[in-house]
């Protein structure tokens, strides 16, 4: 009974894509708008989704200027991503507007690079997540695919159950159809035309 306190093991996950382990992710400022989607993609692959992912973005992600140390929150990174995606008339704060143009908002700071840091504790490999984020920003694969709000086990189970029900329904309908089909035949396996019918042309005229 020594191991009874151990939590139930997680369902086996697909092997993670190979990515370098980074202690820090340094990016040009004009790439910051891509961090949100890429990081969400990497975390999704690491098995982080839903509430946990939201919480992480709210409090566990930070980007800081490599020169002056000015900090951005995960929420601000999200706003940058939104502004880059479509709504150009979306009003950004002056500070985010400056970042959107690729510059550090701090007066007099000439830096063009920010460093993304994961500050929240989590049950994932931070180095891998940062490395994978870098890959996704570089366009290794469309990160939006993995951003689907974790249609996790429950949804998948429901889908499978529905598919089973549909299959069973189809089978019952098929059997019912076959039964009705055979019952509607006058007599099974008898051709409508009698085999004893004689073709008039086949009769020898001399025998008439
Ligand atoms: Zn700066």
Report pLDDT digits (tens) over 18-37.
989 998 899 999 999 999 99
Please name the residue that has the structure tokens 């929150």: 73
Residue 133 CA, ligand 1 centroid: distance in Å: 22
DSSP state of 185: S
Q: How do residues 70-86 score in pLDDT, each as one tens digit? A: 999 999 999 999 888 87
pLDDT value at 150 more than 60: no
CB 81 within 8 A of CB 137: no
Local structure of 134: helix, strand or coil: helix
Residue 106 CA, ligand 1 centroid: distance in Å: 5
- What pLDDT is stored for residue 207 in this prediction? 64
Q: How do residues 156-191 score in pLDDT, each as one tens digit? A: 788 888 888 888 888 888 888 777 766 666 655 555
Residue 155 CA, ligand 1 centroid: distance in Å: 44
Average of per-residue pLDDT across 180-204: 64
Residue 41 CA, ligand 1 centroid: distance in Å: 27
CB 108 within 8 A of CB 128: no
Hey, where are the domains in the chain?
25-149, 151-189
- What pLDDT is stored for residue 146 in this prediction? 47
Neighbours of 99 (CB within 10 A): 27
pLDDT more than 70, % of the chain = 74
pLDDT more than 90, % of the chain = 41
E strands, the chain, in order = 25-28, 61-65, 71-73, 113-118
Residue 64 CA, ligand 1 centroid: distance in Å: 8
First vs last C-alpha separation in the chain? 102
Neighbours of 37 (CB within 10 A): 22
Residue 50 CA, ligand 1 centroid: distance in Å: 32
Residue 25 CA, ligand 1 centroid: distance in Å: 16
Residue 63 CA, ligand 1 centroid: distance in Å: 11
């Amino acid at each position: 009974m020594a191991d009874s306190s151990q939590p139930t093991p997680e369902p086996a996950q697909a092997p993670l894509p190979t990515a370098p382990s980074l202690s820090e992710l340094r990016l040009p400022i004009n790439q910051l708008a891509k961090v949100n989607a890429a990081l969400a993609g990497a975390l999704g692959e690491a098995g982080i989704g839903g509430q946990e992912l939201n919480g992480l973005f709210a409090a566990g992600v930070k980007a800081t200027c490599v020169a002056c140390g000015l900090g951005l929150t995960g929420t601000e990174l999200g706003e940058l991503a939104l502004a880059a995606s479509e709504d150009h008339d979306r009003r950004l704060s002056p500070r985010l507007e400056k970042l959107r143009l690729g510059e550090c908002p701090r007066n007099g700071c000439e830096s063009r690079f920010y460093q993304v840091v994961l500050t929240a504790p989590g049950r994932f490999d931070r180095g891998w997540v940062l490395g994978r984020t870098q890959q996704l920003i570089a366009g290794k694969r469309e990160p939006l695919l993995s951003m689907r709000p974790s249609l996790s086990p429950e949804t998948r189970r429901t889908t499978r159950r529905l598919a089973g029900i549909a299959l069973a329904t189809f089978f019952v309908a098929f059997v019912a159809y076959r039964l009705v089909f055979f019952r509607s035949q006058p007599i099974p396996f008898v051709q409508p035309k009698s085999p004893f019918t004689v073709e008039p042309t086949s009769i020898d005229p001399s025998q008439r």
